[in-house]
Every structure is written in structure tokens, then in C-alpha cells.
């Protein structure tokens, strides 16, 4: 496979959305490109600013805040799985999500989850807590949400 083919495929993938370096490498490897041929292309794309794990993390967190609310724990795990370094993850989480924003996201998810459910149902608070925990929210945030919603 030629370097041009690898670069074209990588740019096509990047034109759809941001990718972390690891994610892009994995997708190219699945397309039977050779690791030793992929790395120089990824280096060049990174040097030219087409791949940037910091920018990727920012966009991922922004997306999670605005369209698919998730707590810090789950966002951290998702970014780690995408190959973003712990330093970048912590820096971006701390600068982009305040505690109050995280509570707001959890309240929004809780309200959606509660829609159509009987609030007097047995164990509703426990069920909601487990749901929010699976969405990556800490026990402190969950406690704030359940008290905010008077459950």
C-alpha cells in the first residue's frame, strides 16, 4: 500500500470527525495497512495539525456536555479507551467541566429518566442512582441530584 493511499484514507476519516491518534491508527490497521507504513503518515498529520489529541479531547467533552451528557468517570474512561493521555484528560476535564455543570448534566439526565415513571414507586431513588452511576457520575453528584429532585 502506498503512503498516499494511507494518507487519503486517514484524511477521509478525519473529514467526518476528529479522531485521536490511537483511534485513527486502529482504523487504518483494520483496513490492512501496515503499521510501519501508518506511523510516518500519522506523524506527518500530527505535525500538520490534522491529528491533535488535545483538540480531540476538547471536542469529545464538548459533545458529551451538550448532546450526550455523561459524568467525569465515564468521559475519562472513554477518552482513555481512545488513547488520550491521562494528563490531557485531567487537564481538559478540569478546565471544561465545573462541578455545577456536572450536576446540571446529571439533573437533565435524571429528569429524562424520570419522565413517565411513578416517583412514588418503590426504590425509585436507588434505581435512579444506579442509572446515573452507570452514566459516570460520582456518588456526591448523585446525592446532590436526588436531593435537588426531592426523591
Domain extents for the chain?
3-47, 53-96, 99-148
The verdict on domain 3-47 having CATH code 1.10.10 is yes
The confidence score (pLDDT) of residue 73 equals 96
- Please, which residues have CB within 8 angstroms of residue 84's CB and are 6 or more apart in sequence? 20, 22, 53, 56, 57
The per-residue pLDDT for range 35-76, each reduced to its tens digit, is 999 999 999 999 999 999 999 999 999 999 999 999 999 999
Specify whether the CB–CB gap between 145 and 103 falls below 8 A. Answer: yes
The confidence score (pLDDT) of residue 151 equals 63
Higher pLDDT, 2 or 18: 18
Residue 1's pLDDT band (cuts 50, 70, 90)? low
Fold agreement between 53-96 and 99-148: yes
CATH annotation of 53-96? 1.10.10
Query: Rounded to the nearest 10 degrees, what angle do helices 72-81 and 86-96 cross at?
Result: 150
Give the global pTM. 0.88
CATH annotation of 99-148? 1.10.10
Place of cell 453528584: 141
Amino acid at each position: 500500500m502506498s503512503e498516499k493511499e494511507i494518507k487519503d484514507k486517514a484524511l477521509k476519516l478525519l473529514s467526518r470527525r476528529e479522531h485521536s491518534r490511537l483511534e485513527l491508527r486502529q482504523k487504518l490497521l483494520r483496513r490492512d495497512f501496515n503499521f510501519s507504513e501508518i506511523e510516518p503518515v500519522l506523524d506527518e498529520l500530527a505535525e500538520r495539525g490534522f491529528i491533535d489529541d488535545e483538540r480531540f479531547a476538547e471536542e469529545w467533552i464538548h459533545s458529551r456536555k451538550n448532546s450526550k451528557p455523561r459524568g467525569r468517570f465515564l468521559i475519562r474512561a472513554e477518552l482513555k479507551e481512545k488513547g488520550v493521555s491521562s494528563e490531557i484528560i485531567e487537564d481538559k476535564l478540569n478546565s471544561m467541566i465545573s462541578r455545577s455543570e456536572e450536576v446540571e448534566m446529571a439533573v437533565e439526565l435524571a429528569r429524562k429518566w424520570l419522565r413517565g415513571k411513578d416517583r412514588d414507586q418503590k426504590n425509585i431513588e436507588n434505581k435512579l442512582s444506579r442509572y446515573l452511576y452507570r452514566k459516570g457520575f460520582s456518588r456526591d453528584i448523585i446525592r446532590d441530584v436526588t436531593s435537588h429532585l426531592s426523591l
